[in-house]
Structure 1
Amino acid sequence: MRRLCVMLSVVLLAILAMASSSAQAESTSAIGFDLDRATIPELQRRMDRGTLGSVTLTAAYLARIATVDRAVRAVLRTDPTALDQAKASDRRRQAGMSRGPLDGIPVLLKDNVDTAGLPTTAGSRALRGTPPARDATLVRRLREAGAVILGKANLSEWANFRSTKPTSGWSAMGGQTNNPYVLDRNPCGSSSGSAAGVAAALAQVAIGSETDGSIVCPAGMTGVVGHKPSLGLISGAGVVPISAEQDTAGPIARNVVDVALTLSVLQGRDPADPATSRYPAGQPTDYAALLRPDGLRGARIGLWRLPELGPDVERLMTRTAAVLRAHGAEVVDVVPPYQQRIQELEFPALLTEFHRDIDAYLRTRQDAPRDLAALIEYNRGDPLERTCFPGQELFEQALVAPGPDDPGYRARRAELTDLARRSIDEVLAAHRLDAIAAPTNPPAWKTDCAKGDNDVIPSSTPAAVAGYPDVTVPAGFVGPLPVGVSFMAGRWADAQVLSLAAAFERAAKARKPPRYLPH
């Protein structure tokens, strides 16, 4: 019986893959160009010339969601007002009142970002009651810029901070998101739906969030661009938290220019988020204007190879170094220090911070568990929360972790942040580097609820813990599976790493659209 179920699953995936490829061709013919290749500047030029409207663009993405997403399962729900938002954008443009590069552009939001009138569940059935009354700050900024909120993307439930053996891309609300390159492979977590949705051209841009790896890993594993900004660049108010010391939202798109344009809209101070009080007065306001085609020329890049990701990734990093050098960069091999101690300190700190921050968030929601203890009890009583993996060990450990005023916790967090910053700063200074580059991800592993994830991905941790920027861009493939390369540097150096990533993107030309292979 089990063998028959497996065979039927393979057949179904193959049928869905063929339907997805057909939908790609149909959407191209309907609008006259390839959505997968389109950039925001190109779309804006078409809309300014009158050859494209936001309604047509939004309808094309909604049509792809209705067909392609049967295979990918990246989108939890679409916004019923999306076409009305698009109509309003078209009216503004006709009146000469366009609000800028994001006006009329369809955007997916990770389902841990509060959105007025739409359910925001973090993938959990415990939050499926009354939707948030107010938009998260970043959603308000998107609306003010004229973006079309297309819907909510699936995610790893509670941003992968529930079980010690989770399956990335699975939530009780949305089921399993699949990798659009090979459908039985994992999209990585926890912004899995945001990245897979962009990779499958279900939206022009998506918003993800990261505590450690949850923007860059899914972006790398699904062959798109993801930017984990400096901590405090984008407000976290209204985003379901893990840790205020590390959490940040960030943009995901199929190219660097779209990420840069979206970041420009999202960033800025917010009284509701203390981390943004350190946002520099001189921070760039238009990151896209600072992207240079020759941005690699004269740059010094430290290459952190991470051989533990395997020989295929090692060969790809050797090719990456060759591309960097061919376009004028100097490349030196580096190994950031203190990584073992950082790994020892990070998880215990996150347990304390999660308990503190999730309790505060739950108090903002109606018809939801009142705190972490009540959330644990809810999960024990809902069997649908245990259909992929049963555990909530991280919740239970966080419940009994030392409080945020505990001297031991405070000393460990101070040491952790200091070592993470030094691990990047000291390497940059010692080798006079502009950035450190590292493989973002291994090739995607097979999704398996029984076994959980196979995620040995250490490259995201230094920048995540330090609060420094980290942007991943496609570097190539291992077989049919994408691998990204990450560029990281010091805090507030977002413009610098985006420029390097854009220049590498132009030089490597590594991205290819997904083929929705069944296995």
Structure 2
Amino acid sequence: MSNKETLVGVLAALVCAGLSACATSALPPPDTANAVIRWSADAQRAGRWSGSGVAGMPILLKDNIETADMPTTAGSLALAANAPGRDAPLVARLRAAGAVIVGKTNLSEWANIRSSDSISGWSAVGGQTLNPYDPARTPCGSSSGSGAAVALGLAPVAIGTETDGSITCPASVNGVVGFKPTVGLVSRTHIVPISHSQDTAGPMAATVTDAARVLTVMAGSDPADPATVEADARKTDYAAALDAGSLRGARIGVMRFLKGYSPETQAVFDQNLQALRDAGAVLVDLPEGPDGRTIGAAEFQVLLYELKHDLNAYLASTDPAQVPTRTLAEVIAFNAAEPRETVLFGQDTFEQAQTKPGLDDPDYLEARAASLRLAGPEGIDRLMRENGLVALIAPTTSRAWTNDPKDDDDMQGSASRLAAVAGYPHLTVPMGFDRGMPVGLSFIGGQWDDARILSLGYAFEQATQARRPPPVR
């Protein structure tokens, strides 16, 4: 396949399937054209926004984030007409700062929570998003379109959301920067939810600088989201806090206890450890860590309970004329009656969530307390305290696996769980390639350490300059 043919295939997935504004025939804002003109061909090739802030910056949004001028579908036909005419607070903040919202990006339907067999980057509304480095391989999920769009230069920044890995994995396998903030730094109001314990929105960008610029605008308290009560006091100018020398003397823990990465990704990671040392970092090997399986089992129970509770609350806030499915149970019934929804996989996770009682159930309370304790105070916090560390690092994941669910080339290794469950910041920065596919290096810190983690990632980015645009460019 030629580069031209590959580009056409990728753009077809992104512009019509990947950009849900096209798929749902929504009209973009009137100033979209001017923003796209400013995002010039030279800027796209450089992967860098030329402005000092976000004024005029074209930004794409994952299609589970509400805007007043476009539908918000979460990739589901049940929400195809969901246009309540309101901006999520993070969107309102971006618009007030002069950013231009140019469209919605495709996602793994319902942010990958509908089924244990869900396919990353596929939704009934948008189809299959493609990885611009190799269309036969996954863009990962659930912020698939956001990662692929930034990789292609369709916008300097796209906003994703993460419950566990949904910003960092697609950023890594699409060769861009992805930042999952501390939960509570950015409002979740008017975002189609999974879990109020773990959900957060965050920027995906070609550079750490642009991610930091956008986070500075997005961050802040929201009276409608109790998790953000400390956000105004905790936020700062994240771009101004970036320091190319921040690795000097920084004690960083190498999470050797995370296993399962491909040999190629592990080799790239080990090479980059020397780059970190050369930049002045003091690396401390961590051969042992928290029990990921125990944390994962508790986390899954939390997600089931909160999915039912939080999605029911969200659906109740929509317009019944636009969204006839008013509960998770009704969404399950809709999917069962709609062949286009279940053509590739079912909805077993939805069905498990529907069986759960309320959030006062002792099993839920026990699972949430255990998962938070094991990932946070007895996990990240303990590792950093006992070893005098300012951050933890690991490969984000290995190269993108194939889109064929029947082969054995599947996901290998992940650094997302501890930070996701604890609600702590997690940054991925391109570090090189695994058999021609991009892979990222993860920086993880303690609660509200967002500025430090971004700065360490920035210093690594400046020292290595590892990002390379997709060959279709």
Q: Same fold (TM over 0.5)?
A: yes
1:386-428 per-residue CA deviation (whole Å, 9 max, x = no partner) reads 2222x10001000002321101211221111111102101110
> Which residue identity does 1:350 align to in structure 2?
L
Distance 2:466 2:119 in 1: 28
Distance 1:476 1:459 in 2: 17
| Residues 75 and 125, structure 2, Cα contact 8 Å, conserved in 1 | yes
Distance 1:434 1:330 in 2: 10
> Which residue identity does 2:12 align to in structure 1?
R
SS of the aligned residue for 2:55 comes to coil
The 3 A distance-change label for structure 1 pair 292 and 405 is same
| Residues 170 and 388, structure 1, Cα contact 8 Å, conserved in 2 | no
1:215-241 per-residue CA deviation (whole Å, 9 max, x = no partner) reads 000000100000000010000000000
Question: Which residue of 2 is the match for residue 80 of structure 1?
Answer: 27
Question: Which residue of 2 is the match for residue 418 of structure 1?
Answer: 373
Q: Does 1:344 align with 2:297?
A: yes
Q: Does 1:407 align with 2:367?
A: no
The 3 A distance-change label for structure 1 pair 288 and 374 is same
Aligned ranges for residues 19-34 of structure 1 at < 5 Å?
A: none
Q: Does 1:395 align with 2:350?
A: yes
Match of 1:263 among 208, 212, 215: 215
The 3 A distance-change label for structure 1 pair 87 and 186 is closer
Question: Which residue of 1 is the match for residue 42 of structure 2?
Answer: none
Deviation at 1:341, TM superposition (A): 1.5
Distance 1:397 1:251 in 2: 31
Question: Which residue of 2 is the match for residue 31 of structure 1?
Answer: none
Alignment RMSD (CA, Å): 2.2
TM-score (norm 2): 0.91
1:166-197 per-residue CA deviation (whole Å, 9 max, x = no partner) reads 11000000100011111110011100000111
Deviation at 1:365, TM superposition (A): 1.6
Q: Does 1:377 align with 2:329?
A: no
Aligned ranges for residues 138-217 of structure 1 at < 5 Å?
A: 138-217=90-169
Deviation at 1:430, TM superposition (A): 1.2
The 3 A distance-change label for structure 1 pair 117 and 82 is closer
Deviation at 1:87, TM superposition (A): 5.2
SS of the aligned residue for 1:485 comes to strand
Distance 2:90 2:285 in 1: 37
Distance 1:312 1:121 in 2: 38
Deviation at 1:451, TM superposition (A): 6.4
Distance 2:85 2:279 in 1: 50
SS of the aligned residue for 1:459 comes to coil
Question: Which residue of 1 is the match for residue 470 of structure 2?
Answer: 514
Match of 1:134 among 86, 104, 107: 86
Distance 1:156 1:88 in 2: 27
Moved over 6 A (4+): none
1:59-115 per-residue CA deviation (whole Å, 9 max, x = no partner) reads xxxxxxx9961265532225634442565999xxxxxxxx97111110000000011
Deviation at 1:202, TM superposition (A): 0.9
| Residues 132 and 174, structure 2, Cα contact 8 Å, conserved in 1 | yes
1:421-470 per-residue CA deviation (whole Å, 9 max, x = no partner) reads 02101110111111000110111110025569933443101011101000
Aligned ranges for residues 87-98 of structure 1 at < 5 Å?
A: none
The 3 A distance-change label for structure 1 pair 416 and 86 is same
| Residues 264 and 435, structure 2, Cα contact 8 Å, conserved in 1 | no
Match of 1:300 among 243, 246, 251: 251
Distance 1:19 1:358 in 2: 40
SS of the aligned residue for 1:290 comes to coil
| Residues 166 and 453, structure 1, Cα contact 8 Å, conserved in 2 | no
1:349-408 per-residue CA deviation (whole Å, 9 max, x = no partner) reads 11000000000001112222010000000001111112222x100010000023211012
Deviation at 1:20, TM superposition (A): 6.2
Distance 1:279 1:423 in 2: 23
- Name structure 2 gaps, 5 residues minimum: 38-50
> Which sits farther off after the overlay, 455-464 or 263-272?
455-464
| Residues 182 and 516, structure 1, Cα contact 8 Å, conserved in 2 | no
Question: Which residue of 1 is the match for residue 181 of structure 2?
Answer: 229
Greater Cα radius of gyration, structure 1 or 2 = 1
| Residues 220 and 235, structure 2, Cα contact 8 Å, conserved in 1 | no
Deviation at 1:162, TM superposition (A): 0.5
Distance 2:409 2:162 in 1: 17
Match of 2:440 among 484, 487, 494: 484
Distance 1:323 1:411 in 2: 42
Deviation at 1:164, TM superposition (A): 1.1
Distance 2:408 2:103 in 1: 28
Aligned ranges for residues 453-472 of structure 1 at < 5 Å?
A: 454-472=410-428
| Residues 391 and 444, structure 2, Cα contact 8 Å, conserved in 1 | yes
| Residues 27 and 70, structure 2, Cα contact 8 Å, conserved in 1 | no
Distance 1:269 1:312 in 2: 42
> Which residue identity does 2:374 align to in structure 1?
L
> Which sits farther off after the overlay, 490-499 or 128-137?
128-137
Distance 1:456 1:416 in 2: 23
Question: Which residue of 2 is the match for residue 249 of structure 1?
Answer: 201
1:26-79 per-residue CA deviation (whole Å, 9 max, x = no partner) reads xxxxxxxxxxxxxxxxxxxxxxxxxxxxxxxxxxxxxxxx99612655322256
Question: Which residue of 2 is the match for residue 18 of structure 1?
Answer: 4
> Which sits farther off after the overlay, 329-338 or 482-491?
329-338
Distance 2:214 2:448 in 1: 16
> Which residue identity does 1:241 align to in structure 2?
P
- Name structure 1 gaps, 5 residues minimum: 1-13, 22-65, 91-98
| Residues 126 and 375, structure 1, Cα contact 8 Å, conserved in 2 | yes
